[in-house]
């Protein structure tokens, strides 16, 4: 792990960003206050309805069962589960025990899961017998001493067999500066990175997310997978801190989401832009749904300006934010600031966070929610400097008021004949083309120039695909330089995505190169 400079650590504690509470202690207090809140799993295959207190009892029985099997403070507990009750029970149990929890996105396959398990060497692994493409494979976790399978048929590994009759009392005492969670990046790069968060950084981030919400923010449907960092916080920590209902959805289906919004009273108020646009574009979207969509906090993926403007025109208050698994809440805007700041920038540094730009525009950050390193020591050494700054690899600008705007992500550069082209800039124009629902710009091989811009489009239903000539005319009207114009165009039914909805650009690039 990296060494946090002493003066920073002292300041974060002095200013209240870091506390001496563990995540287990934070949970215990919040769960005691919200035990009667509803806990609902909206699923076609494993629905569940009960209270937060009932799930806490399952978590404490699991914690007691694992302790009886020799699990101690500091051990690693990994789980790969959909948005089910058992995922909450596993996460909470790990934190009650003072273990290090490792959530794994449920759509990861054998290769990714094997890589993660080898990297963290867990004492416990909890997974599902079957869900979509997820199928339990004993060979993947053969080195794990304790395995629990939700819905399993083998009595020796079935999840319920891990539960003790009596629940664990209290919470293990742990060092709050030590590891609480290892979150693996969501797959937009080829090799997942294990990002380590402490009890202090994770607790700070939970409070940051909660404080960002306006007073009339409605209870949320957790649609992002709980194996993903933000999905996990949104499902298992923020609602406990706020004392609100927990509503989990295990499959993103716009029609199901629209129905839940009007029946259970929980809503979707942001995430990656795809979540919002797929609801708006669904034929069953009505004015009743629109009235419920008061806010849209967009982040986790580049936010095309056209989408932010579309939501605003419908009366939805939009804010953009910027962060990563390493530094989850770098910048954001309040819903009360001007429309220009909310729509066209990625906000100002969150409380306690510092941002600066290197000479070449790279964004450097540090703050109380910044991770404590990677599972790969070499990567930790490469991405953090001695003064505590995280080198993001992203490029941005700061305006006179301190608002940050992301202008590029270094992996998204298209280098055409020695000229750098911002994929984000191209995408902002592509989504203004009539009939285009979603677009990505990637580098395609070019025998003369090295690379050129390829436009890959997902269209609205019944829309006619634009020709390359019409795209170029549109770009000319937008005033972009010729080297930024698409030189080939492809139409797809959908993009390869991570479980959180992000487009996996490396797969799009690979398909073009093939």
Beta bridge partners of 135: 130
Average pLDDT estimate for 59-87? 98
**Spatial CB neighbours of 378, under 8 Å, sequence gap ≥ 6:** none
Q: Which residue has the higher pLDDT, 450 or 378?
A: 378
What is the model's pLDDT at position 418? Answer: 66
**Alpha carbon distances (Å) from 232 to 110, 206, 342:** 22, 10, 26
State yes or no: pLDDT of 189 exceeds 50. Answer: no
Q: Which residues contact 217 (CB under 8 A, 6 or more apart)?
A: 269, 295
pLDDT at 1 over 80: yes
The share of the chain scoring above pLDDT 90, in percent, equals: 78
Q: What is the pLDDT of residue 411?
A: 61
Tens-digit pLDDT profile for residues 453-509? 999 999 999 999 999 999 999 999 988 778 899 999 999 999 998 878 889 888 898
Domain with CATH 3.40.50.12780 in the chain: 18-207
What is the tens place of the pLDDT at every residue in 344-366? Answer: 999 999 999 999 999 989 999 99
Q: Judge whether residue 367 has pLDDT over 80.
A: yes
408 pLDDT higher than 60:
yes
Mean pLDDT of 31-51: 97
Confidence check: pLDDT of 191 > 70: no
Closest by alpha carbon to 299, among 369, 385, 248, 231? Answer: 231
At 43 the pLDDT is 97
Residue 511: what are its φ and ψ, rounded to 5°? -65, -35
pLDDT for residue 424: 85
Read off the pLDDT of each residue in 195-207 and give the average, rounded to a whole number. Answer: 97
The pLDDT of residue 160: 97
Q: Examine the pLDDT at 317 and tell me if it is beyond 50.
A: yes
Rounded Cα distance, 508 and 497, in Å: 10
The alpha helices in 69-198, defined as continuous H runs, are 85-97, 110-120
The class level of CATH for 417-513 reads alpha beta
Where exactly does CATH 3.30.300.30 map onto the chain? 417-513
Q: Residue 273: pLDDT above 90?
A: no
CATH of span 18-207: 3.40.50.12780
Q: What distances in angstroms separate CA 295 from CA 292, 314, 316, 336, one per listed residue? A: 9, 11, 5, 11
């Amino acid at each position: 792990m990296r060494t946090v400079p002493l003066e920073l650590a002292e300041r974060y504690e002095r200013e209240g960003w870091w506390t001496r509470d563990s995540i287990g202690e934070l949970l215990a207090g919040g769960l005691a206050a919200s035990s009667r809140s509803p806990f609902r799993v909206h699923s076609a295959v494993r629905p569940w309805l009960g209270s937060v207190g009932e799930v806490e009892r399952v978590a404490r029985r699991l914690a007691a069962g694992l302790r009886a099997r020799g699990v101690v403070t500091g051990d690693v507990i990994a789980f790969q589960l959909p948005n089910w009750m058992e995922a909450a029970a596993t996460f909470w149990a790990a934190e009650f025990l003072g273990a290090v929890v490792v959530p794994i996105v449920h759509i990861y396959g054998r290769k990714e899961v094997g890589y993660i398990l080898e990297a963290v060497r867990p004492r416990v692994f909890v997974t599902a017998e079957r869900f979509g493409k997820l199928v339990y494979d004993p060979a993947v976790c053969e080195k794990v001493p304790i395995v629990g399978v939700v819905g399993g048929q083998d009595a020796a590994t079935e999840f319920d067999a891990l539960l003790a009759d009596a629940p664990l009392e209290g919470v293990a005492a742990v060092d709050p500066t030590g590891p609480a969670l290892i979150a693996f990046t969501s797959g937009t790069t080829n090799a997942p990175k294990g990002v380590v968060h402490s009890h202090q950084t994770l607790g700070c981030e939970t409070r940051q997310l909660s404080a960002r919400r306006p007073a009339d923010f409605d209870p949320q449907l957790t649609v992002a997978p709980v194996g993903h960092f933000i999905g996990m916080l949104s499902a298992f920590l923020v609602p406990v801190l706020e004392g609100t209902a927990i509503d989990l959805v295990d499959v993103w289906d716009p029609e199901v989401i629209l129905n839940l919004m009007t029946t259970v009273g929980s809503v979707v108020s942001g995430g990656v832009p795809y979540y919002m646009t797929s609801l708006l574009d669904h034929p069953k979207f009505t004015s009743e749904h629109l009235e419920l969509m008061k806010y849209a906090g967009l982040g986790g993926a580049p936010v095309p300006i056209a989408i932010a403007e579309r939501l605003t025109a419908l009366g939805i208050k939009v804010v953009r934010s910027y962060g990563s698994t390493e530094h989850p809440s770098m910048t954001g805007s309040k819903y009360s600031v001007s429309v220009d700041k909310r729509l066209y920038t990625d906000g100002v540094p969150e409380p306690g966070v510092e941002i600066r730009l290197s000479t070449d525009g790279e964004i450097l950050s540090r703050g109380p929610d910044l991770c404590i390193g990677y599972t790969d020591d070499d990567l930790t050494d490469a991405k953090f400097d001695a003064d505590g700054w995280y080198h993001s690899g992203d490029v941005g600008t700061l305006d006179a008021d301190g608002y940050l705007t992301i202008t590029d992500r270094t992996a998204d550069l298209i280098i055409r004949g020695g000229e750098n082209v911002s994929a984000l800039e191209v995408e902002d124009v592509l989504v203004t083309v009539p009939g285009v629902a979603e677009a990505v710009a990637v580098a395609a091989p070019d025998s003369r120039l090295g690379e050129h811009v390829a436009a890959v489009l997902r269209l609205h239903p019944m829309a006619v695909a634009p020709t390359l000539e019409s795209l170029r005319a549109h770009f000319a009207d937008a005033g972009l330089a010729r080297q930024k114009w698409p030189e080939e165009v492809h139409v797809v039914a959908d993009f390869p995505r991570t479980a959180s909805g992000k487009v996996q650009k490396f797969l799009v690039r690979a398909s073009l190169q093939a």
